[in-house]
Amino acid sequence: MAARTKTKVSPKYKTKYRVKNWPTYDLALRNRGDITIWFDKESIYAWNAPATGRPGGQRKYSDLAIVTALTLRTVFHLPLRQTEGFVASLIGLMDLDLQTPDHTTLSRRHRSVEVPHLPKSHEGPLHLVIDSTGLKIFGDGEWHSHKHKTSSRRRSWRKLHLAIDGDGYIIASAITDSTVTDASVGISILEQIEGTIARFTADGAYDSRPMYVALAKAGAPDIRIVIPPKKTAIVDSRGKGLWCQRNRAIERIGKVGRRQWRKESGAHQQARAENGMYRYKRIIGDRLRAKHRSSQKTEALIAVNVINRMTTIGMPESAKIVA
């Protein structure tokens, strides 16, 4: 029997929660497994790519057809050849006069297809939480490297950065190399977000002056920033604007300690991003199947859309259990 992993949180401080809307959430979980699939008239008309009028070979399939096939591949964890067969069987069952993109076309178009982000309207300012996690890239594997005495450098990682709102909806994402700093990517992610940010929560990796400057441009005038300062941080007497919030956090931590500051500031909201990354890896997986960098970005965008569709079906409403 495998050894049980010990939690890092002391039982004295571990908070227990109860799901208030369990019947509704239980129905949503079952609806996620519903495989009822249909093609509406607009999708059928837009399946084939329109003529561009330019000389040379014309594209046969539209971006809609490619994204549809790649989305089914992501949901059902299929290789490209099985994806081709799966889409062909669906078209055959519905008796549609459509052709199926072959696996070579899917592989080639995977690099350049445009994936539309699922829009979501927000009422009022955003409560944004941001974090990153690692995704493996398919390589030779540990066993192959050990047997043939080869280097395992091909087995590397990519970073998946997610920006999540208060409802658990992923409103922005990015795929980068593992060596890229979180703060630099966080600044570029802010440029993708439409709307006013009222509260921004992140971990200590985003504790940098350029991050505060970017938040001053993208956030509301009274934006609340909750970023744990580094343990070696000191008060900057020259701090202006939002940088003063960092100074106040350092002073407060010096008085009451980091644990009490996290409780007072609401830094525990960072768990929303961690929950989002857990859902991504649990539903989609912890690996990127594509080998080309552009295809990996497309794969991540499609996976984010899949997660968001499941989020719109239903999410749990948790309440703290008071002892």
Q: Are 234 and 193 in contact (CB under 8 A)?
A: no
Task: Of 230, 233, 172, give the one whose Cα is nearest residue 205.
Answer: 230
Handedness of CA 225, 228, 230, 231 (dihedral sign): positive
Helix, strand, coil % (nearest 5) of the chain? Answer: 45, 15, 40
| Residue 64: how many other CB atoms lie within 10 Å | 18
CA 52 to chain centre: 34
Contact (Cβ atoms closer than 8 angstroms) between residue 134 and residue 158 = yes
What letter does residue 231 receive in the DSSP assignment? T
The CATH 3.30.420 domain(s) of the chain lie at 126-288
Predicted confidence (pLDDT) at residue 49 exceeds the cutoff of 90? no
- Please say whether the beta carbons of 317 and 20 come within 8 A: yes
Residue 288, H or E segment: strand 287-288
CA-to-CA separations, 94 to 38, 40, 87, 200, in angstroms, rounded: 8, 11, 11, 47
Instruction: Provide the mean pLDDT of the chain.
Output: 86
Each residue's pLDDT tens digit, 243-275 = 899 999 999 999 999 999 999 999 988 888 999
How do residues 120-169 score in pLDDT, each as one tens digit? 766 778 899 999 999 998 655 555 566 666 555 555 789 999 999 988 89
Which pLDDT score, from 0 to 100, does residue 86 have?
95
* pLDDT value, residue 1: 40
Beta bridge partners of 68: none
pLDDT in tens, 188-229: 999 888 888 999 999 999 999 999 999 988 888 889 999 999
- Non-local (6+) Cβ contacts of 311 within 8 A are 167, 168, 169, 170
Q: Does 3.40.50 match the CATH number of domain 126-288?
A: no
pLDDT-above-90 percentage for the chain = 54
Q: What is the C-alpha to C-alpha distance for residues 187 and 129, in angstroms, rounded to an integer?
A: 13
For the segment 293-318, the average pLDDT, to the nearest whole number, is: 92
Residue 71 φ then ψ, to 5°: -70, -45
